[in-house]
Amino acid sequence: MCDTFVVLGKSSADGITLFGKNSDREPNEPQSVYFFPRSSNNSDELFTTNQRVDQASETNAILISKPSWMWGGEMGVSEKGVVIGNEAVFTKESVRRDGLLGMDMLRIALERSENAEHAVKIIVELIDKYGQGGNGGFAKYFYYHNSFLIADRENAWIVETSDRYWVAKRVDGYAAISNCLSIGEEIDESHPQVVSNAENRKWHKRGKEFNFAQSYERKLIAKFSGAEARSKRVKSLIEERKMDIESSFEVLRDHGGGRLLGSMRNICMHAGPGVVSSQTTASMVVALGDRIEVWVTNSSLPCLSIFKPVWFDSFKSSLPFEEEGINYWGNWEIFNRLALLRNSKAKELWKEYCLPLELDLLFNREKMSEEVLTSQAFEKSWNIARKMTSLLREEKEEVGFFDRNYWNRQNKKLQQLKARNFKKELPT
């Protein structure tokens, strides 16, 4: 489960396009930020997470946040200023077991597109040629179709799919998507058979105005995921404030929708006991000004994390690591696991140690070199996580038996996964 939003420049405080996403996945699934430089490719084939596709001769530099086991990413931005986030959606069409993952389509579109409209074209062509599907879960089976929020400095699009059928809508001002279909009757582009297919399947009555969400969505699953509540909450938060980078962090940290643990209604999602439970395992905010400014947690739970700035160009980034980002995720996760059971004290520590550093990073982003600021951000936050972990170990747990038991089981699973380097054993 995830939430993604965009605020175009005409609607933001600083006149620049803002993008934000929380990636909600299995709580024990590490996710880290990776930089891939611009490249020339000699091979005719590209091997994604689970499928071979045609390779492009040239690919853009990209910065993406991706789960440890997959080729593609949950969210990311290219050197061309194209930014994309994807969502799992649940539709009446069956999900193929051998299609492209939505995260792989996202990375391919970032690597090959010149602007947002071009990225839309690439994604729908990929769906038509290779299909979408495969197991998107880490330690469990999870099959779904995808929606995408795609933006550049001037424009943004929502693309929603059901197997090979799709519709697209241009964004006016701002938009938010979640794990439900949001495009109804206002469709700007679409698959040529999207209406006739719905008519043939008896999902849409011939002669009536076509509504994609009403025709194709599995309503019960979408409602059970809390997606509509989260999407409405994101939009209301955007409408309440003048959006800038700092307020984008606030949106992704919001808990206004439900109980703290185990609720699918919170934008910042904390796992807990229940039939379905996801957790925000990574967060990203992108500001598409004259230069591309990316802020990442590289850790779970944005309400307990520090957003850190990253910059990149065609051939290098300011990230202070390459593959070691998973270690940072794991180091911060030690604190987060303690904090989930001791929330009151954890929030005090976050306000005392994390918030001042984040505000300092925002203040100094125009005054220090990009490499130095990013390096200091990760180093200082690593040390803060260790300090807060030490302080929090002495605190009494605040939760009841069921929450405590749930997290004891998750911690044991996390150690087992870590022992095998978080290798995915289920087929994709």
Catalytic residues: 2
Q: 162 forms bridges with which residues in the sheet?
A: 165
What is the DSSP pairing of strand 165-170 with strand 174-177?
unpaired
H/E element holding 346?
helix 343-349
Region 143-154 average pLDDT: 97
From CA 397, how far away is CA 205, in angstroms rounded? 56
pLDDT for 424 beyond 90:
no
CA 106, 110, 113, 117 dihedral sign is positive
177: β partners: 4
The rounded distance, in Å, linking the Cα atoms of 185 and 166 is 13
Supply 325's token pair.
């980002």
User: Is pLDDT above 80 for 407?
Assistant: yes
What value does the mean pLDDT of the chain take?
A: 94
Structure tokens at 227: 């997606």
Query: pLDDT at residue 258 above 80?
Result: no
What are the structure tokens assigned to 2, written together? 């995830």
- Average the pLDDT over each of 107-116, 289-298, 299-308, 364-373 and give the range with the smallest value: 364-373
Which residues make Cβ contacts (< 8 Å) with residue 105, sequence separation at least 6? 72, 86, 123, 126, 127, 132, 146, 148
pLDDT (mean) for 110-138: 97
**390: buried, middle or exposed (CB in 10 Å: 19+, 13-18, 0-12)?**
exposed
Task: Identify the three-state secondary structure at position 154.
Answer: coil
For residue 422, pLDDT beyond 90: no
Q: Summarize pLDDT for 152-179 with one digit per residue, the tens.
A: 999 999 999 999 999 999 999 999 999 9
Alpha-helical (H) ranges within 5-114 are 102-112
Question: Is 206 a residue whose pLDDT tops 90?
Answer: yes
Can you read off the two tokens belonging to residue 233?
């909450």
pLDDT above 90 for 220: no
Q: What is the pLDDT of residue 421?
A: 82
User: Is the pLDDT at 223 greater than 80, yes or no?
Assistant: no
pLDDT of the residue at 366 = 87
Which of the four pLDDT bands, split at 50, 70 and 90, describes residue 427?
confident
DSSP state of 97: S
User: What is the bridge-based pairing of β-strands 75-78 and 189-190?
Assistant: unpaired
Answer whether residue 303 shows pLDDT above 90. yes
- Tell me: the pLDDT tens digits for 230-246? 999 999 999 999 999 99
Number of Cβ atoms within 10 Å of the Cβ of 213: 18
d(CA 11, CA 243): 8
The confidence band for 378, taking pLDDT boundaries of 50, 70 and 90, is very high
pLDDT tens, residue by residue, 49-99: 999 999 999 999 999 999 999 999 999 999 999 999 999 999 999 999 989
Residue 260: its pLDDT value, please?
A: 87
Percent of the chain with pLDDT over 90: 87
Average pLDDT, integer, range 219-232: 86
| 68 closest CA partner among 1, 144, 132, 138 | 138
Written as one letter, the residue type at 314 is S
Reported confidence tier of residue 369, pLDDT bands at 50, 70, 90: very high
Look at residues 136, 143, 82, 141 and name the one whose alpha carbon lies nearest to residue 113: 82
Residue 318 and residue 371 in contact, taking contact as beta carbons nearer than 8 Å = yes
pLDDT at 274: 78
Among residues 337, 349, 344, 324, which one has the least CA distance to residue 414?
Answer: 337
What is the average pLDDT across 325-337?
93
Judge whether residue 402 has pLDDT over 80: yes
- Given a contact cutoff of 8 angstroms between Cβ atoms, the answer to whether 306 and 377 are in contact is yes
Residue 372: pLDDT band with limits 50, 70, 90:
very high
Confidence of residue 418 (pLDDT cuts 50, 70, 90): confident
Right CATH number for 2-322 from 1.20.120.530, 3.40.190.10, 3.60.60.10, 3.40.50.300?
3.60.60.10
Does position 292 have pLDDT exceeding 90, yes or no?
yes
Q: What is the pLDDT of residue 219?
A: 84
> Is pLDDT of 324 > 90?
no
Whether residue 426 is predicted with pLDDT greater than 90 in this model: the reply is no
Backbone angles phi, psi at 62, to 5 degrees: -140, 155
| Backbone region of residue 274 per phi and psi (left: phi > 0; alpha: psi in -120 to 50; beta: other values) | left
